[in-house]
Structure 1
Amino acid sequence: MIPDVDFRSDTVTRPSEGMRKAMADAEVGDAVYDEDPTTNRLESMTAEILGKEAGLFFPSATQANLAGIMAHCGRGDEYIVGQTAHAYRDEGGGAAVLGSIQPQPLPNEPEGIIDLDAITSAIKPDDFHNPVTRLLTLENTFNGRPLPEGYVAEATELARSHGLSTHLDGARMMNAAVATDSRPSSVASDFDSASLCLSKGLGAPVGAVFAGPRDLVDRAKRIRKLLGGGMRQTGVLAAAGIYALENNVNRLREDHDRADRLSEMFKDFPELGAAEARTNMVFLSPDGVDMPAFAAFLAERGIITGAGHGKPRWVTHLDIDDEAIESVRRACKEYFGR
């Protein structure tokens, strides 16, 4: 049974009628032979939006990140990544397991940055005892927070000065772009490559695009095949991605506004310890609240919640409307007013 209101993640979005029609009408061919015109259009369109030379469609952002890391690094190489970044903590250790690439995790500050001095110290000297440090990867947004623009420029320049490539896990980079009134190409410009997830706030049912220089994308294409990501008539899925990019980017502001409203509403219930909304996410630090009981109470009223990075997390998305926010208000009044 589909819950009435699902705040667990923006991954739970369902295709709109317009998106479904675009999928049904999509012109298709064999994408492994580069003969699917809709997929080709999505790839070139995304590359242009992100200011990159080429793009490559993937089943998921996890696979796009993995292929990207493997394209940048060889066996026995190393990539620097945040300790709580998705590409390190939440993607099954794929780079190590499947790519024989050593991660060098470093602590993330609350806003998602990695200390520049820590990055410098982590870069290995040219010594045969050490793995070769090849890549710095950052995530934007991070726990719903856009990375500070000045920091991104400094971190990527630091990486380049040491001969490292850079990759952006941009699963929610469109949220970052909208929140900072920036072009997506500006968010991605300092990075050699970037991944963009289409199935979160953008509302497509599946898919991601990896973008970067043509030769790097070509290497990633070979790796995608190795990982089992070579698909056939993908135009049906790519059409959803095109629809998402054409219709669902600017509307992310609605998600951000509703997250702001949710955060403000939670202030009426201080025991929940609601943080300020960052793009489309609100994190709670509850004090003295039986959260399993609270979650069960909400679930009985058709409101589903989840956790992210160890804290209760509420995520707004295109299937969350104004009435959904009001239903949470009513439920909280009922629960905490008992």
Structure 2
Amino acid sequence: MGSIENGASNIGKGRIVDFRSDTVTKPTAAMREAMANVEVEDDVLDVDPSVDQLQKQTAKLMGKEAGLFVPSGTMGNLIAVLVHCEVRGSETILGTESHISVYEQGGMATLGGVHPRTVPNNPDGTMELSKLEAAIRYELDDHLPITRLICLENTQARCGGRCISAEYTDAVGELAKSYGLQLHIDGARIFNASIALGVTPERLVRAADSVSVCLSKGIGAPVGTVLVGTSEFIIKARRLRKALGGGMRQFGILAAAGLVGLRDMVGRLEVDHANARIMAEGLNAVKGLHVNMALVETNIIYAEVTSDSALTNTEIVEVWKEYGVLAMIYGRNMIRLVTHYHITEDDVSFALSFFKTTSLQTSRNSSTSGRKNIAEIVDVCC
């Protein structure tokens, strides 16, 4: 596994720093208190007051008419696709590296009979407008499905947590409308994009007909996504939520945590972004590692383990784990790290101290794939 100086394995004893994902965040003390004291009702039979408040508040933040609290982002995206593509033989256009395309089991086809038509994502997460337009199938040709929906993702996780601009989204929205299509945004990390770009969430999704807004990543709620759109869209979405098993009873216990997250956690995401930058710069200074700093826009970091390293990515992650630092192996020669509110600047320094006691600087004979786009080699979700 390469050389480790004597005593190095004791450095991380009793301390855990978890960079695997922002999904590992635990509810804050304020969330736990709110969950313990919230008044709840049966949200299937009637309306749970906290669920109702969360739905309305999220819809307002996104500039939409109504919202629906669902257990997961995958369910929110699936419901959105199925509502927009309720006619059999429909088609959805989405990026090759989108979470919906890669990590949601092809649910639109499996459960909804909707055909996915993919367009390559650029390194910055966008898709070429000309390629999007060329993919649209709108003629009544018996041989072809009919395109009814375009999906974007913001931030675009597999491209490095890249932010999709309001101007680009507007352009896609205009294209969609010119062909009578709908636009859905998978906003799993929409608040990260908002903070990084200095643009309100409403502005980023103004062109969208629907948005799924995750509460269980950077803002730290334990469960849930809010799907937003028009009132008519949400009425149909609610029926589908029930059919998919997503209608829950005293859901307000979870909604209470989401409300605290919206109140307390969104504004502090800039801390996560700053820590990601510090971590990326530190890793990039290590011979045997390479981070494309242009990709580090939010809280996601991809570090390439180059041929100058004596250790593989798997070996680095395994040794790091001995220190109490957790990260994800990505593809053949990449490591992914994600910052969140449990990660402090001191935790970043602690993680980087590993490289002061471990040698990565003896060249390996094994070949590497070179500095390809992240999306070409990563293969882990969330």
TM-score range, shorter chain: over 0.9
Moved segments of 4+, more than 3 Å: 307-311
- Equivalent residue for 1:118, pick from 131, 136, 155: 131
Give deviations 1:68-113, integer Å, cap 9, x for gaps.
1001002220000001100111111111100110000111001111
- Equivalent residue for 1:95, pick from 97, 108, 114: 108
Counterpart amino acid of residue 18 in structure 1: A
Quickly say closer, same or farther: Cα 1:3–1:57, change in 2 above 3 A.
farther
Alignment partner of 1:189: what SS?
A: coil
Bigger mean CA offset, 160-169 vs 310-319: 310-319
Supply the distance in 2 between the matched residues of 1:40 and 1:309 (Cα, whole angstroms): 42
Which residue does 2:17 correspond to in 1? Answer: 5
Q: Do the aligned residues in 2 keep the contact of 1:294 with 1:335 (CA within 8 Å)?
A: no
- Equivalent residue for 1:81, pick from 94, 119, 122: 94
Counterpart amino acid of residue 336 in structure 1: S
Which residue does 2:354 correspond to in 1? Answer: 331
Q: Do the aligned residues in 1 keep the contact of 2:194 with 2:204 (CA within 8 Å)?
A: yes
Shift of 1:337: 6.8
Quickly say closer, same or farther: Cα 1:337–1:271, change in 2 above 3 A.
closer
Supply the distance in 2 between the matched residues of 1:187 and 1:281 (Cα, whole angstroms): 20
Alignment partner of 1:136: what SS?
A: strand
Alignment partner of 2:156: what SS?
A: coil
Supply the distance in 1 between the matched residues of 2:315 and 2:329 (Cα, whole angstroms): 14
Which residue does 1:197 correspond to in 2? Answer: 214
Q: Do the aligned residues in 2 keep the contact of 1:58 with 1:207 (CA within 8 Å)?
A: yes
Which residue does 2:313 correspond to in 1? Answer: 291
Quickly say closer, same or farther: Cα 1:270–1:102, change in 2 above 3 A.
same
Bigger mean CA offset, 58-67 vs 127-136: 127-136
> How do residues 38-187 of structure 1 correspond to structure 2 at under 5 angstroms?
38-74=50-86, 75-124=88-137, 125-143=139-157, 144-187=161-204
Quickly say closer, same or farther: Cα 1:3–1:193, change in 2 above 3 A.
farther
Counterpart amino acid of residue 138 in structure 1: L
Shift of 1:120: 1.0
Shift of 1:309: 7.4
Supply the distance in 2 between the matched residues of 1:129 and 1:123 (Cα, whole angstroms): 14
- Equivalent residue for 1:301, pick from 323, 330, 348: 323
Counterpart amino acid of residue 101 in structure 2: Y
Q: Do the aligned residues in 2 keep the contact of 1:36 with 1:234 (CA within 8 Å)?
A: yes
Supply the distance in 1 between the matched residues of 2:103 and 2:360 (Cα, whole angstroms): 38
Shift of 1:126: 2.6
Which residue does 2:370 correspond to in 1? Answer: none
Q: Do the aligned residues in 1 keep the contact of 2:154 with 2:185 (CA within 8 Å)?
A: yes
Q: What percentage of residue pairs aligned between the two structures are identical?
A: 41
Supply the distance in 1 between the matched residues of 2:24 and 2:18 (Cα, whole angstroms): 7
Unaligned runs of 5+ in 1: none
Give deviations 1:294-324, integer Å, cap 9, x for gaps.
1111000100001457742110001111221
Counterpart amino acid of residue 86 in structure 1: H
Q: Do the aligned residues in 2 keep the contact of 1:34 with 1:40 (CA within 8 Å)?
A: no
Counterpart amino acid of residue 242 in structure 1: L
Q: Do the aligned residues in 2 keep the contact of 1:138 with 1:169 (CA within 8 Å)?
A: yes
Alignment partner of 1:14: what SS?
A: coil
Supply the distance in 1 between the matched residues of 2:136 and 2:72 (Cα, whole angstroms): 29
Supply the distance in 1 between the matched residues of 2:22 and 2:359 (Cα, whole angstroms): 27
Supply the distance in 2 between the matched residues of 1:42 and 1:332 (Cα, whole angstroms): 44
Q: Do the aligned residues in 1 keep the contact of 2:287 with 2:360 (CA within 8 Å)?
A: no
Equivalent residues, number: 337
Shift of 1:336: 2.8
Counterpart amino acid of residue 137 in structure 1: C
Supply the distance in 2 between the matched residues of 1:244 and 1:336 (Cα, whole angstroms): 41
Unaligned runs of 5+ in 2: 1-13, 362-382
- Equivalent residue for 2:300, pick from 273, 281, 288: 281
Q: Do the aligned residues in 1 keep the contact of 2:169 with 2:205 (CA within 8 Å)?
A: no
- The TM-score, its normalising length taken from structure 1, stands at 0.97
The structure whose Rg is larger is 2
Counterpart amino acid of residue 324 in structure 1: D
- The TM-score, its normalising length taken from structure 2, stands at 0.86
Alignment partner of 1:8: what SS?
A: coil
Alignment partner of 1:336: what SS?
A: coil
Counterpart amino acid of residue 319 in structure 2: F
Shift of 1:13: 0.3
Counterpart amino acid of residue 281 in structure 1: I
- Equivalent residue for 1:260, pick from 265, 271, 277: 277
Supply the distance in 2 between the matched residues of 1:72 and 1:105 (Cα, whole angstroms): 17
Quickly say closer, same or farther: Cα 1:328–1:77, change in 2 above 3 A.
same
